[in-house]
Structure 1
């Protein structure tokens, strides 16, 4: 950690999460002076934006931060929140990055041959900049939330901790991605009445044909496929598959929850007159998730057959429950709804970046973290290069790649003035 600023650095890293710390690790290996600006505290999202029952969705062996692989005794298990925090804390101490916490970056601009970085702690210049603030800066809550009755508690997934945090009564969970489905399960297991508003998120089996599906997919090579492959460039916008590592790992099947009393709906259309309104696409959302589920299993089947692997028989998921109708609305008062959990994701915040590196959707244009502006890098985004880019699995590999590129850039840029002076 650091408490002071120099006027100039070879590199500035913005963001003190696993991506920024990984970049710092490799910059230190190259002997490149740098500073990490962190708006809050190092790795704060793991500490401050996860619910109590949170656990990893991928097995522990995929925790591969730089020079800090999982070192526990359960590589095929799923670390729970306290264990994840301990793993991250050990990494933080090992890296010992020069971090200035509680420091917001307000502007990054090009000035001559360097970059001007304005922060709440002062202004510095740098030869290069690594943007490691991820896509999860601001909770995304739809404007329809403003039309909910004032007596209903509203929380984003970043603020949800446990069922006891909520008032008695029914709960609506809006969004069926990983967080939404896991929180819905958390509430359901606690005996709460849950109304689940679905979207088009896909799902995946936890175990299939005798192994964790993640293990099979690693063998197949899915985690090594890059966005440079045909048809993969749009992956960065995909929603993650829902499943869980809870209690040793299992599928999340919304149809099973429906049989047990959870109410399911299509995508939220809006809120009006004390009612939440829905699109008539519940069946399509459930069928789409199951299609992906069976498609992944079929991929594993082909791998097993092609390699002559001895494994338990193949199977196809058959729906346990079908919706009898497409509910158009939910009367909040009549159903005793007292809480709404918004599992609707996050918005990135690139407002501080005054550089022309973004496409028409506001997403950075880059190839494996290297942008079109010399000395500017992006790190920690989902599908930056592979499926594991934003995770413990591959963020380190991406960090090593951009830092190698950064080191060459700095070396070349410093040679040019020397060559010019020698003429």
Structure 2
């Protein structure tokens, strides 16, 4: 062993919600471990989100079992700074062995001996197991169709903070998931002319019949779905906790002045072209919305629950002009568009992880986080074990499963065969002849 090398049974990389949850379960099972974080605990919540962001789930739902949000109504939505503070408080409560400001540069499997060699900015670590808790939202993705040389201000949603940071002029927001929709709404409320490019999406009600949609997905068993429905792999979800929590209704947003367009297809000499799919995309979102209302009504009737009727939930806004006569082309200069915000998701980067744990597309190969590479585990991935894996409480349960698997492997390694047990047994003197 090289001088200055740290030895630990399990190394956890990342101290966001996944890393903190992992530490709790490993501690409960008595597994010696260390958590490394290149920035601060839950840093992404502080600096990789826009200023007004709140959690998408209510405080009673989006938390770990061992701690409630301090001084926050359980049915409200925690601001991003309070979410980050929550994880810092949780890490302190469980006495998590976290080292911040340490960057993991490389993980390599040892040859001829167990475990892995981990090179960090603070030295070398030897670990029997490595849990990759860096999550799925590591590097913002801007698609290749992004125009070049037009002098436009182009940023990813991860770089957006507030309307004041943008130059004068209209804004095109590409992507109508939770992030894109909330950003577009905020910009429109700030007086900006906004075009929102809407692709396929799911659009659940924020609440229905006095219950949040998180509650409905729970009692209907939807959080436990183990695989996304075929053809829905790239469908985003339009849901928000902003403004106290309101259902995202694209037609309502259009009534307030937001310009809806279809999927962004291409740019050519300053002209952006949109697919002729806006009507279909809105219709599929409506179908998803109504299916949950119908399932909730059936559940209430089946179980005889006394929950108030909610007729307003089925009322719809009329199709606005931008839907009945969709914009298929937009000259950015003539429309006064000076900014494009790409709410187009994130990619992972595992280039530092030099192990055989990935498929030909570079995606982790795993079963509920247990990698095909023995001793490597992944935590914090969407649909890691089920639909709920993307939520704070879901990652806590996924961490528990992985910790159990690590404990099982540790038990196997403590096995001693019969010869070893006999050799290790203390010698007992034969006293039968004493005093004879």
TM-score by length of structure 1 reads 0.90
> What residue number does 1:39 align with?
38
Larger Rg: 2
Shift of 1:416: 5.8
Cα distance in 2, alignment partners of residues 390 and 313 from structure 1: 29
The answer for unaligned runs of 5 or more in structure 2 is: 424-436
Note the aligned Cα RMSD (angstroms).
2.5
> What residue number does 2:368 align with?
368
Cα distance in 1, alignment partners of residues 262 and 419 from structure 2: 65
> What residue number does 1:312 align with?
309
Q: Mean Cα displacement is larger for which, 252-261 or 48-57? A: 252-261
Shift of 1:260: 2.3
Shift of 1:14: 1.0
- Compared CA separation, residues 55 and 200, structure 1 to 2 (3 A): same
Q: Mean Cα displacement is larger for which, 239-248 or 197-206? A: 239-248
Q: Mean Cα displacement is larger for which, 155-164 or 35-44? A: 35-44
- Compared CA separation, residues 135 and 73, structure 1 to 2 (3 A): closer
Shift of 1:406: 0.6
Shift of 1:420: 6.8
**CA-to-aligned-CA distance 1:147-191 (integer Å, 9 cap, x gap):** 2512x2122111111111111111111100110001111111112
8 Å Cα contact 1:236/1:384 also seen in 2:
no
Matches within 5 A, 1:262-281: 262-281=258-277
Q: Mean Cα displacement is larger for which, 382-391 or 411-420? A: 411-420
Q: Mean Cα displacement is larger for which, 329-338 or 254-263? A: 254-263
Cα distance in 1, alignment partners of residues 402 and 187 from structure 2: 41
Cα distance in 2, alignment partners of residues 406 and 246 from structure 1: 39
Cα distance in 1, alignment partners of residues 375 and 191 from structure 2: 53
> What residue number does 2:77 align with?
78
Cα distance in 2, alignment partners of residues 182 and 418 from structure 1: 64
Cα distance in 2, alignment partners of residues 91 and 24 from structure 1: 11
Shift of 1:20: 0.8
Cα distance in 2, alignment partners of residues 54 and 417 from structure 1: 57
> What residue number does 1:346 align with?
346
Shift of 1:295: 1.2
Cα distance in 2, alignment partners of residues 418 and 395 from structure 1: 41
Cα distance in 2, alignment partners of residues 416 and 408 from structure 1: 15
Cα distance in 1, alignment partners of residues 120 and 231 from structure 2: 33
- Compared CA separation, residues 354 and 419, structure 1 to 2 (3 A): farther
8 Å Cα contact 2:77/2:245 also seen in 1:
yes
8 Å Cα contact 1:244/1:251 also seen in 2:
yes
Matches within 5 A, 1:371-382: 371-382=371-382
Shift of 1:396: 1.4
Q: Mean Cα displacement is larger for which, 234-243 or 173-182? A: 234-243
> What residue number does 2:256 align with?
260
TM-score by length of structure 2 reads 0.88
- Compared CA separation, residues 337 and 256, structure 1 to 2 (3 A): same
- Compared CA separation, residues 142 and 238, structure 1 to 2 (3 A): closer
Aligned with residue 301 of structure 1, among 282, 297, 300: 297
> What residue number does 1:390 align with?
390
> What residue number does 2:150 align with?
149
8 Å Cα contact 1:147/1:271 also seen in 2:
no
Shift of 1:256: 1.5
Q: Mean Cα displacement is larger for which, 312-321 or 181-190? A: 312-321
Cα distance in 2, alignment partners of residues 148 and 325 from structure 1: 30
Cα distance in 1, alignment partners of residues 202 and 184 from structure 2: 16
Matches within 5 A, 1:231-242: 232=228, 237-242=233-238
Cα distance in 1, alignment partners of residues 247 and 27 from structure 2: 41
SS at match of 2:392: coil
Matches within 5 A, 1:14-413: 14-65=13-64, 67-111=66-110, 112-147=113-148, 149-150=150-151, 152-223=152-223, 225-227=224-226, 232=228, 237-310=233-306, 311-312=308-309, 316=314, 318-321=316-319, 323-413=323-413
8 Å Cα contact 1:169/1:192 also seen in 2:
yes
Q: Which consecutive segments of 4 or more residues in structure 1 shift more than 3 A?
A: 69-73, 231-240, 313-319, 414-423
- Compared CA separation, residues 351 and 205, structure 1 to 2 (3 A): same
